[in-house]
Structure 1
Amino acid sequence: MFQGALLKLLDVSSAENVLPTTYGKLCPPLGKHRLKIVEFISILLSIGGEVAEKELIRLGAIQHILDLFFEYPFNNFLHHHVENIVVSCLENTKTMLTEHVLQDCNLVLRLFGAEKQFTLATGPEKTTIPTEGRSPPRIGNIGHITRIANKLVYLGNNNNQIQALLQVEVRTLLRLQVETRPRKASRRLADGSWYDEVKANVDGESSEWMDWQMNVLLKRNTMENVYQWACGRPTAMQDRYRDSDDEDFRDKDYDVAALASNLSQAFRYGIYNNDEGEEVRLKHYVTFHFSFAIIPSS
């Protein structure tokens, strides 16, 4: 009862307020209250609990939250919580949540659809509307879509159950997609030619999903791997400059407390003349000791 009343607050269809943005406008904006509800569900799923999980599935909470993920493609706070929800469902030891997010929520097809239509869509029923007279911007949740897709690929390669569910979902959904297309009467003949065409289209779309993993997702991961960049700080951190003796004195951890103690001892035993100013004596000491610190050992 409590969860049902809470999830009703996620419904944005009756809201009429409009928020102008740099890319267009939100009709209506998501708001902090709905965001907190999504965060609460994310924590609830991470903790686990069969009763709560069954109730969330029954109420369609996860499916509705995924709808918000695609309806608000520039809300990074929302995307973060939705990614955690999806990962919690996929890594859950019970098959109930995994089957729900992959089959009932059509996760793979929705991710694939967002990749194909990567600009902000226009329409009267959209909550995120681009500015008129300008080219629609690229959607802002591609990064989280990539992370979710990487998680799916990883789990599919290491979990036979998820791999089987992925294959079933891709084939079933694409078969429905093909069967709902307009077809000629000649394709309804009893010789089975229509079903052969459906099978060919499904196999082609399934291979397209695999091609996307290899040619798009893999290349994107390589491009975004900062440790492989040819310039900039990440490379410099891994391949630091070394002097002729392969000794990087910048890596040495100088003990400031020990240096201060040595400085005090030096003045106590009269190493430096008392008639020199404090700044001059400090300069001599620091120059003397650091010159020994950076001289390469023979």
Structure 2
Amino acid sequence: MADKLAKYRSKRDASRTPEPIPQQEPEPGDDRAFVIQEHHARSLHWDLRLERDGVLASWAVPKGLPTDPKVNHLAVRTEDHPMEYLAFHGEIPEGEYGAGTMTVWDAGAYDTEKWSEREVKVVLHGDRARGRYVLFRTDGKNWMIHRMDPPEVDPLPPMKPMLPVRRAKLPREPEKYAFEVAWGGRRVLVHIDGGRTDLAREAPWLRPLAASFGSRSAILDGEIVRLGGTEILVCTDLLYDDGRSLVASPFTERRAALDALAIAGARWQTAPSWPAQAQPVRQAARDQNLPGIVGKRLDSRYEPGESAAWLFFPV
């Protein structure tokens, strides 16, 4: 009988990688265990591994498991892995095959509905990955993965920013607003999915930010501003978070969710927001030669296009 782990062993040196490299022949089990590992390698991806005949049949899924049956994701069949990989996590050294950080994203049991050379249909029973999925071969060696159950996530909200109405005088009831400086940059909605963002095509420096989200989907509202000759992203609102649309939620709830993400780095940050502090924020904007401030009603939902729930006050 052919050694199912021969290819796996040929790519690894036990003296140079912490990965398990068992020497004994694999023994068949009950074909129920699965693991999904988040792999920050040369390119971020997720590794789906299903117990089969004593080894873990493996696929690399660049964008993670699809959450919507309308969207299939690429799944690249890789070599079988040993059962010990069910619990593996750690750093694969630079220069080694699969170099990078690997963490266990989810694990649990699964049921097999069909298993053939061209189609694998399973039901996952994990904490994060649940439901019926099918892996199927396309032309050549390529595979795709499809979610068979209805989506568990909210639909994406309209991709159009909310715009403030210009006013000269500050509101009579400032306690009903949160105030932020207007940076005078370019407004953007940053759609992050599968550790990637389309905005990176024009701003490649955003790729590490998107990768830091892992499998967490999000839509950030913000501005790209130039400070000290360097472009940075200033985040001001959160429209979508981990499968849940926030556009109908009040600003206070969206702002709390944005703060909880703790977005901070050399080229991205969360903009400060001060409830009720209209005059001090306006003075701070004037001192920094910024164009003005924005007042956002604390109870305002996110409304694409111009809305009187947000007010712009020039300095």
TM interval, shorter chain, is under 0.3
Pick the structure with more strand per residue.
2
Q: Specify the structure having the higher radius of gyration (Cα).
A: 1
Give the alignment's TM-score, normalised by structure 2: 0.21
Give the alignment's TM-score, normalised by structure 1: 0.21
Pick the structure with more helix per residue.
1
